[in-house]
Copies of this chain bind each other. A is one copy, B any other.
């Protein structure tokens, strides 16, 4: 579990009951070094007791809607979930290996995105920018 985060407090500040299920989901996502799929979260949470698959989906939807978790689309099937950017968890890009599918977090601040050119011609409102890199991870580079 991420030692810097008080999950109970995070939930209550968002106006959500700090139920056992939500706490367990948050601990799993917050302590894992890379974003997880709903299925992985469900599998991991199930090791410490039962929690329905549907309930996990509903918890994830709720936490994303409240801005506690962030939903990423990293290619491959389905979405991945990670902690939303905050002081404890700074925003960072993600990398996905095209060969083995493994997903890693890249260092925060390592990417600079300059959107000035887009904002001049795009009339909508941009709230979030996600940077996703793809290529070959170290393991796959070593065994070709």
Q: Using a CB–CB distance below 8 Å, which chain A residues touch chain B? A: 71, 73-79, 93, 95, 97-98, 104, 106-107, 109-118, 120-138, 140-141
Contact of A110 among B95, B111, B118, B140 (CB under 8 A): B118
* CB–CB A114/B112 < 8 A: yes
What residue in chain B is nearest A139 (Cβ atoms)?
Answer: B124
Q: Give this chain's copy count.
A: 2
B131 pairs with A131, CB closer than 8 A: yes
Q: Which residue of B lies closest to A74 (CB)?
A: B73
**What CA separation (Å) do A131 and B73 show in the bound complex?**
11
Given contacts A74-B73, A75-B71, A132-B129, contact A124 B111 (CB under 8 A): no
The secondary-structure label for the interface of chain A is: mixed
- CB contacts (< 8 Å) of A98 on chain B: these are 127
Q: Which residue of B lies closest to A114 (CB)?
A: B112
- C-alpha gap A77/B79 in the complex (Å): 8
- 6 residue pairs of the A-B complex, CB under 8 angstroms, read A106-B118, A110-B116, A124-B141, A125-B141, A126-B133, A129-B131
Which of B106, B111, B123 touches A138 (beta carbons < 8 Å)?
B123
Contact of A134 among B115, B130, B141 (CB under 8 A): B130
Whether A135 pairs with B131 at a CB distance below 8 angstroms is: no
Verify A121–B110 contact, CB threshold 8 A. Answer: yes
